[in-house]
Amino acid sequence: MLFIHILFIYRMYYVVIKSLNRMEVNVKKLLILIFLSNAVLAMQNNYSTSSQWLMDMDVVDDRFRAIQKQFRGFDTAMMEVGYRYEAIKKALFLHNYELASYHLQKVQVAIENGYIRRPARKEASQNYFLNTTFKELQKALETKDDTLVTHSFDNLKNSCNACHINQNVGFIVIE
């Protein structure tokens, strides 16, 4: 197997060298230029092709920048919020208020982490959600009063949508 492999590489090498020899000088120059510019581009890109993509970066600041990029922005926070919103809805349907409180708490964490990454979203997060409907539902869940909980959850849903409109993503509608 190894022998066939070596033979194959040797054959490829032979073909390349032969065709290079036959080529015009200008074409050779062009090929070398393309090869070099690719190498420069690969260096600028800075990403390694190995699974050590982060540690393989030589400059420490580049590693932080790469981590920052991987953490993304408010969208990933909202993906978690969307998931937990549905989990709260299901928990309320089952009257499992402890579970609903658990997920609601994580919604707060997700939104706070989200606006640390995107500070422009902080004020709206607090006005539309954290200082208002979030606290209201949190308190309602402690009372375990079905009517109050249902009413507060409805208010919470409306505040999700109000913030979406305020932040120019009104096409994302929570039901």
Which one of 42-50, 55-63, 81-89, 146-154 is the stretch in contact with ligand HEC (CB under 6 A)? 81-89
Q: Are the C-beta atoms of 113 and 125 separated by less than 8 Å? A: no
Q: Does 120 bind ligand HEC (CB under 6 A)?
A: no
**Of residues 63, 83, 66, 86, the one with CA closest to residue 75:** 83
Q: Is 78 in the site for ligand HEC (CB under 6 A)?
A: yes
- The number of angstroms, rounded, from the C-alpha of 96 to the middle of its chain's C-alpha atoms is 31
Q: What's the closest the beta carbon of residue 131 comes to ligand HEC, in angstroms?
A: 11
Determine which residue in the list 91, 97, 128, 141 makes contact with ligand HEC, applying CB under 6 A: 128
Give the distance, in angstroms, between the CA of residue 144 and the centroid of all CA atoms in the same chain: 36
Q: Does 87 bind ligand HEC (CB under 6 A)?
A: no
Q: Does 129 bind ligand HEC (CB under 6 A)?
A: yes
Q: Please give the size of the binding site for ligand HEC, defined by CB under 6 A.
A: 22
How is residue 118 annotated by DSSP?
A: -
Phi, psi of 131 (to 5 degrees): -90, 0
